Structure 1
Amino acid sequence: MGIVSEFVREQKRYTRSDLKRNFCFSSDEIDGFIKNLKAFGVLKAVKNNSEQCELSDLVDEDIEVTDVESGSDNYLYVFTYVGIITIGSRIIKCYPKYILAETTSVEEMKQVLKVIGKYGSKEQVINLYNGDAEYSSFNILAVILFLLNDYHDYGVYNNSEDIVEINGEGEILWDKTVNDVFPLIINNRPYYMELYTEKTIDDEFDFFKRLHECILTECSKQLETCDLLDLFDLVAVNLSEETLDDFGEVDYILYRLRSELNIQFNTRKQILLKTLYAYIAHNRTLEDSYGVSMYGTNSFNLVWEDVCAEVLSNKLQTPIGQLELPIPLLSKYQPNDKLIDIIRKPVWIGNKEGGRTFDKTAKDTLIPDLITIRHQGGTYQFIIFDAKYYNIQLEQGKPLRGQPGVSDITKQYLYQLAYKDFLDDQQINDVKNYFLMPVQSNEIINKGIAKMDILSSLGLQDIQIRQLPAKIIYDYYLSGRKMDVSLLNI
C-alpha cells in the first residue's frame, strides 16, 4: 500500500470505524494505530454518547484511560493536536478546531503550519524526539524540516581553504612578498614586479558538503513522496546523485562527523552537524512502519495568544515610562516597571506565638493575555484583551456551548479591578474588555457580550466578544504588521 493522507479536525469526535475507513486499515491494524497515537498524547478517548457528540471542546475529566477495545465503537476518539503526524505510511493533517468545514484548503493548512513554525522558532529548538520514557521516538519529520529550512536560509555546508597566488585578485600578502620576492630598486625605492595574494575558496569536493547535499536530496524526496513538500511551502531540492552508501559505513560517517564537530566552532555549523549525525545514526524514514513523527503543537491556544499579542501591540511587558499616557507618570511609579508588575501579588499572613503575625508574598498573580493603550481623538482607552481559543455557539434558538468558563469571565473583570488605582492616577477613564476568538471567516464578527451582574454592578466593564478572521490575523502575524485596533469596532 502507498501513502494514505487524510485531513482530520482537532477536537472532532471520530469512531473506531471512522478511523479504520479514512486511513484504509485492516481490522488487525487499526487498534495498533489508535494505541500508538494515544501513547504520544495526540489522540484521546471519550465515551461514545450523545453528550460527547454535542461538545466542541475536550474536558479533561471526560478522557478515558482504558485500553482500546478491539473491534468496538464504544469510544469516540479526539485529536488534541494541530499540525502534521506521520505514522508509517499514514499522514494525518490535523487542522484547528475553528475550521468547521468538512473540507479544508491546502492553502489554509499551509498558513497554519507557517504560524506554528514562527511561534516555535522563538525557542530555537529542534524537537528530535517525541514523548518520553518508553514511548519516546526519533522525530524524523522535525529533523527533515529543520534541514530543508536551514538549507533555504543558509545554503549548503561548506569548508573553505586559503589559496596563495602570484598577482591574483585577492588581498596582498605584504610580509610574504617582501620576504620572498626580489625587488627592483629605482631611485632608492623598491618595486615588486610580483605580488603574493590570498583568496578563500570553497572546497567543492569536501566530504561534509557532499554528505549534506546527499541528505538534503533524500529529505526532499521523502517529503515529495508523502505529498508534504507543498504543504510546508518548500521547493524540491535535487543537489546530489550520491547515496549514503557512497560515503562508507554508518560508523565511519558518524566518526567523520564527530571529528568535524571537534574542530568546528561556528554555532550554526555545530547545530547542522549534530542534526546530520542524528539523521544518520537513527537511519529512519517517514515510512518506517513503527515510527511516529510530528510537527505541530498540543497547545494551539498558546499559539493563538501569541498571534493576538503580536498583532494587537501588546504593552504588558513595556516599561510604563515608555507608554503614551494622558499625564506624565506619577512619582509613585517607577518608569522601568511594566504593566504586568503593577498587579499586586497575593499575600499570605500567618500567626506566630504571642498574637504576632508574619506575611509571605506569593510568586504568582493575575496575568492578562495582552493590554493595549489607544489614543484616539483626545481620549485614552485602556483595552484588556483575552485571547480565547474557543468555538462558541451563541445563537438564538440554539443551546449555549463552547464558551469560556466562569473563572475566565471573573478573571477578565478582575484585570480591570487590578489596574483601577493606576488608571485613576493616570486619568484614564475609558476601559474596554474583550474576548478574542478565531473563526473561519473573512470579517470580524461582533458576537455579543459576557457579563456577571455581581461584578458589572461594581462599575466594571462587561466583556465584549469578538471573533477574528484567523486567516487575516495570521497574515498580519507572519508579515510582522500590526492591526489597527479600531477595526474591532471598539
Structure 2
Amino acid sequence: MDKSSKFFFEDQKYNKERIVRVLGGNLALLKSKGILYEDSSGDLIFNYVGVISNGRNVIFILPKYCNRHLDEHSKRTLFNKLLKIFKKYSGLNKSRESDYFVSELDSDEVSDFMIADYLLNDFSLNGYYQKKFTEYEIDGEGIIDWSKTVNEITPVFSKGVPYYFSTYNEVVQKDEYHLIVKIHKWALSKYFNDFGVILGFTGLEFDKSCDGMKILDYADFFGSVINKEIVNTYVDRDVKLLKALKTAIDREENQFSKRPTLSLYGTKYFHRVWEEVCKTVFSHVNEYVKKISRPNWINFTDIEVNKEKKTLEPDIIKAFEYRSKEYFLILDAKYYNINFDGKKLEGNPGVEDITKQLLYDKALEKLSRGKTKHNAFLFPSSNSTNTFKVFGSVDFDFLDIAAVTLVYISAEQVYNLYLENKTFSTHDLFKFVSEINKSKKRHSVITSTLYGNMFLFTKRLSDKN
C-alpha cells in the first residue's frame, strides 16, 4: 500500500508523539468528536472502532477485545470482516451521531474508504465508465438509420416504389480516451493503492496509464466536465459513478489545501454492533418483551393507576426445545474486555448491569416456568476455536435469584453467521446450555472439595487443641 497505514486498538494507551506522527494536526478535531481522549498521564486512547484517514495516512482501529499479538495479515482479514459487518449493520439500522457510516457518495461526510469500496467493487462488476459515440457505416451490421439513408442515398425506383440497395447503419463506438474515462482510471489506481489490500481487491487488474494525471492543476475543469455529464446521463449506475469521481477530485484538492482533512468510517459505540450481531444469531424473540409487566404509577389523590409505556428490555430472549426438553435463555450482549487476572478483576460490567440482568430473570419468571432457564452475559472473544467458553458467574448473595453466567463467544464465528444471514441452530443452542451446565458442575465440585479440605484442616486443628 502506497499510503502509510497502521493498526491500533480501541481502549489501549498510546504515546502522544506516536499518534501525532500519523495523524498530524487532526488530534484536536478527533478529541472534539470524542473519538480520541487523553488520560491524566498524557497518553492517548481511542474510543472508536473503524477507519481514520487524513489524506496522507490511514489508520485502522480494531475492537478492544482483539488479541494484541495478531500478525498483519490477520489484522487485515479481521478488519475486512468488520467492514462488511459495518455495511450490513448501517444498512439495517438508522445511523446515530456517534456513528460514521455515511454512504452517499456526493456527501462531504462520506469516507474515503467508502468511495474506494464503491469504485473498486463497481469496477470489478462493470468495468470502466463507457463514453459512447455513434458512427455510420454503409451496409454495416448495426441498426439502419432510415432518415440518413433516405436523405443521402439515391434509391432505385421500380413501378414508382423506391428500393434502397445500400443503407447507413449505426455503429456505437467506445471512446476509451475520453477525459472521464481517464479520470476513472486515475481514481481506481489512487484508491486501490490506498485501500485495495484491506478491502480484499488484491487480484484486481486495471489500466494504470493515468496514475500521473495532473488532477490538482485542472480540478475545477475536470469537475465541470463531470457535472455536465451527470446532467446528461440517465443511467443510475453512471450517475452514481460520476458522483464518486467528482468527490474523489474534491478530496484530492482538499488534501493539499491548508485546512486539515479527516475522513471517518466507523463508530464510537461498537457495543451497539455487538448487541445487534448477538441478537441476530441467537434469534431474539421480541414478543416476550411485550409480555413483561410495565411499571404502575399510582396517583394517591384520584386512586388512578397509570401504566408506563416502556418496560424492561433484555437484549436477547430465546426459547427452544431439544430432545423433548424446553429451555429458556435470557442473554445480554456485553462489549467488555473482561479479564480475571488472579484475584484482580478488570474490564467488568457495572453494578447496574448486573442488577438489570437479575431483574430480567425475575420479570420473566412466569414466562419461563416449566422450562430450564439460563441467564448469561455474552462477551466477545478473539478465540476462533471455541464457540462458547463459560468462565464465571456474578450474583448478589442477598438476592434469591440464580447467578448470571459469564460466557465468552467467539466473535469470528458469530460474525460469519451474521454475514451469511444464518443463526445458531437448536443443536448449537443446546451446546451453549451444555457448556454452562458442565462449567457449573466443575465449579461445584471444586468448591465442595475446597470447603471440604478447609473443614478437615479446621477439624484437625481443633482435635490437636
Alignment TM-score > 0.5, same fold: yes
SS of equivalent residue, structure 2 residue 37? strand
Counterpart CA distance in 2 for 1:349 and 1:276 is 62
Counterpart CA distance in 2 for 1:208 and 1:98 is 45
Match of 1:255 among 217, 220, 224: 224
Q: How many angstroms does 1:38 deviate by?
A: 1.5
Counterpart CA distance in 2 for 1:152 and 1:143 is 14
Question: What whole-Å deviation, never above 9, does each CA across 1:77-132 have from its counterpart, x for those lacking one?
Answer: 21112233234644433222112435544323432342233333443564579x9x
Question: What whole-Å deviation, never above 9, does each CA across 1:355-400 have from its counterpart, x for those lacking one?
Answer: 36473643x43222223332210112222221111111235x3212
Aligned-partner residue type, residue 16 of structure 2: L
Alignment of structure 1 residues 83-482 onto 2, 5 Å: 83-87=50-54, 89-102=56-69, 104-124=71-91, 126=102, 139-158=111-130, 204=176, 207-221=179-193, 223=194, 228-235=195-202, 238-242=206-210, 245=214, 249-284=218-253, 290-316=260-286, 338-350=287-299, 355=302, 357=304, 359=306, 361-362=308-309, 364-395=310-341, 397-424=342-369, 429-441=371-383, 442-443=385-386, 444-457=388-401, 461-482=402-423
The more displaced of 375-384 and 83-92 is 83-92
Q: Which residue does the alignment assign to 1:43?
A: 36
SS of equivalent residue, structure 2 residue 407? strand
Aligned-partner residue type, residue 359 of structure 1: N
Q: Which residue does the alignment assign to 2:46?
A: 79
Q: How many angstroms does 1:137 deviate by?
A: 7.0
Aligned-partner residue type, residue 214 of structure 1: W
SS of equivalent residue, structure 1 residue 452? coil
Can you give the 5+ residue segments of structure 2 that lack an aligned partner in the other structure?
92-100, 156-163, 435-465
Per the alignment, do residues 374 and 153 of structure 1 end up closer, same or farther by CA in structure 2, a change over 3 Å counting? farther
SS of equivalent residue, structure 1 residue 431? strand
Aligned-partner residue type, residue 291 of structure 2: I
SS of equivalent residue, structure 2 residue 130? coil
Aligned-partner residue type, residue 11 of structure 1: D
SS of equivalent residue, structure 1 residue 394? strand
- What is the TM-score when the length of structure 2 is the normalising length? 0.71
The more displaced of 160-169 and 202-211 is 160-169
Structure 1 or 2, whichever has the larger Rg, is: 2
Counterpart CA distance in 1 for 2:128 and 2:83 is 25
Counterpart CA distance in 2 for 1:95 and 1:7 is 7
Q: How many angstroms does 1:464 deviate by?
A: 1.6
Aligned-partner residue type, residue 399 of structure 1: K
Counterpart CA distance in 1 for 2:23 and 2:217 is 39
Counterpart CA distance in 1 for 2:4 and 2:214 is 29
Counterpart CA distance in 2 for 1:423 and 1:255 is 65
Per the alignment, do residues 342 and 284 of structure 1 end up closer, same or farther by CA in structure 2, a change over 3 Å counting? farther
Contact 2:102 2:111 in 1 (8 A): no
Contact 1:351 1:358 in 2 (8 A): no
Q: What is the alpha-carbon root mean square deviation over aligned residues?
A: 4.4
Number of residue pairs aligned between Structure 1 and Structure 2: 409
Question: What whole-Å deviation, never above 9, does each CA across 1:439-461 have from its counterpart, x for those lacking one?
Answer: 2223232111122345444xxx4
- What is the TM-score when the length of structure 1 is the normalising length? 0.68
Q: Which residue does the alignment assign to 1:58?
A: none
Contact 1:127 1:142 in 2 (8 A): yes
Per the alignment, do residues 482 and 284 of structure 1 end up closer, same or farther by CA in structure 2, a change over 3 Å counting? farther
Aligned-partner residue type, residue 313 of structure 2: I
Counterpart CA distance in 2 for 1:80 and 1:412 is 26
Per the alignment, do residues 218 and 389 of structure 1 end up closer, same or farther by CA in structure 2, a change over 3 Å counting? same
